[in-house]
Amino acid sequence: MDPIVTSGTLRRNAIGVAHIVFFVVAAAAPLAVVVGVTPFAFSSGNGTGVPLTFLLVGAMYLLFSVGFIAMSGHIGRAVSFYPYIARGLGRQVGVGGALISIVSYFAVEMMALSLFGLFASSIAAQYTAAAPPWWGWSVALNVIVYLCGIRNVEFSGRVLGALMIAEVLILSVLGASILAHHGGPEGITLAPFGPAALVSGNFSLALVFIVSAFIGFEATSIFGEEARNPERTIPAATYIAVVLIAVFYAFSTWVIALDYGPANIARAADLDPTHLYQVSIERHLGSLAASILQALMLTSTFACVLSFHNTINRYVFVVARERVLHHWLARTHAEHQSPQAAGLVQAAVVAALGLVFPLAGVAPDLAVGLCSAFAAIGILVIQLLVSIAVVAFFWTNHRQVSAWRRLVAPAVSSLALLASLYLMSSNLASVTGSESLFVRAYPALIVGIGIVGILIARRMRKARPEAYSNIGRISA
């Protein structure tokens, strides 16, 4: 096994704006989201209004980014949202937020691993009857991702960049072909971006799917310690990532709506959600492109898992470095300066959790729904706490920051995030496909995790006051 050392630091000045954008957009898994998630937004949500909904959610996250970036300039090389919450709302709430973040990101990774297993087993079944079960593919991917994660952060950035470009390219070529053929039965129209389209169906349920599609954009903050010139790199990467995700998703859903016809897209997605895009690609680009799409669905989910593996590693690393978790987890690789100890433990935990689903007889599609809903609620809670923390941080000392950046934008984003959280919590059964009491208890469970974090912090304050005083401050 490669050596690990207790350095307490990650690789400095290693990555720039492009690398961080690759991490973030890869975490958003553009191909997997567009092909695997948006058909359900069309069929169960507001149909032809999906493209506009993507732009509106993107605007919400741009507002969130205004306050987040305003605060980032005052707290050093913050690794994760954890220091933001601790500095704005207090150390105890900060630790609670850190635990919610870690558990939520674990859920995202479990979701992506289950999705990979679903795709891989389905594709393998087309060629052989002796293919491994879906969970076998997930376990294999977990090992590969761990091996990639112990390499230096630039390596992961290059891998994710290449895969992201391939994902974006095939969907962009499809969009160009649809536009070149003057759209579909209704021609090229901007009707999907009109206000009437927004309320053409169940806007609330569409919002649930679309907010979930943005999970991961907040990872820009997690690479603050490894970024070159983080005061400029992190803000630029955040804005670029949000705009790219929103515009690309809006474009991709707009052109597919044109191909089937805005009036028909909801019905087409409802009849065959799993092949909505594949049929379109085969019609416009041929059977070879459809086969390439299948392969890219696998690489898209691989990229998503690798990105969140890196994200969780750094979250665990910084919390362990501040002695909230065992300090052994802050050990880094001797050569690559990657958080190897955190990665090793994470891979083991994910492997153990991944076996729970097959042992319980849970199908991979249900596992995807269960994990993604939990993760989406948890991350919305964290984003809401960060927006409130920004307002609290600047409340008594404006630090020469404009009212727009320190108050108005974060306050509006807080209201929007709170509304999204309410809508998601109210539609859990529709999103997960489960009516179980456990699923309905997701919001309470996430609050409970936060309370556990608060109790841990209170114990630290009594038992280890020096470590407690450093919570949220070892970030420079």
pLDDT at 224: 63
Nearest one of 22, 109, 35 to 294, comparing CA atoms: 35
Helices 287-321, 82-89: axis angle to 10 degrees equals 50
Spatial distance between the Cα atoms of 30 and 170, rounded to a whole number of angstroms? 11
Q: What is the distance, to the nearest Å, from the Cα of residue 367 to the centroid of all Cα atoms in its chain?
A: 17
pLDDT at 317: 82
pLDDT at 447: 96
Spatial distance between the Cα atoms of 459 and 140, rounded to a whole number of angstroms? 39
CA distances from 257 to 106, 127, 264, 277, 416 (A): 33, 32, 8, 10, 27
pLDDT at 85: 92
For residue range 122-137, what is the model confidence (pLDDT) as tens digits? 888 877 777 788 889 9
1 has pLDDT over 50: no
196 has pLDDT over 50: yes
pLDDT at 54: 95
Least trusted range by pLDDT, from 9-23, 319-333, 381-395, 400-414: 9-23
pLDDT at 394: 95
Mean pLDDT for the stretch of residues 16-21: 73
pTM: 0.86
For residue range 359-409, what is the model confidence (pLDDT) as tens digits? 888 888 888 888 888 988 998 999 999 999 999 999 999 999 999 999 999
Which residue do the tokens 């509106």 mark?
A: 56
Of 182-191, 195-204, 309-318, the range with the highest mean pLDDT is: 182-191
pLDDT at 116: 87
pLDDT at 165: 83
260 has pLDDT over 80: yes
Nearest one of 230, 242, 243, 216 to 72, comparing CA atoms: 230
4-469 has which fold? Answer: Amino acid/polyamine transporter I (1.20.1740)
Nearest one of 153, 77, 190 to 475, comparing CA atoms: 77
- The secondary structure of the chain, three-state, reads CCCEECCCCCCCCCECHHHHHHHHHHHCCHHHHHHHCHHHHHHHCCHHHHHHHHHHHHHHHHHHHHHHHHHHCCCCCCCCCHHHHHHHHCHHHHHHHHHHHHHHHHHHHHHHHHHHHHHHHHHHHCCCCCCCCHHHHHHHHHHHHHHHHCCCHHHHHHHHHHHHHHHHHHHHHHHHHHHHCCCECCECCCHHHCHHHHCCCCHHHHHHHHHHHCCCHHHHHHHCCCECCHHHHHHHHHHHHHHHHHHHHHHHHHHHHHHHCCCCHHHHHHHCHHHHHHHHHHHHHCHHHHHHHHHHHHHHHHHHHHHHHHHHHHHHHHHHHCCCCCHHHHCEECCCCCCHHHHHHHHHHHHHHHCHHHHCCCCHHHHHHHHHHHHHHHHHHHHHHHHHHHHHHHHCCCCCCCHHHHHHHHHHHHHHHHHHHHHHHHCHHHHHCCCCHHHHCHHHHHHHHHHHHHHHHHHHHHHCHHHHHCCCCCCC
For the chain, the domains span: 4-469
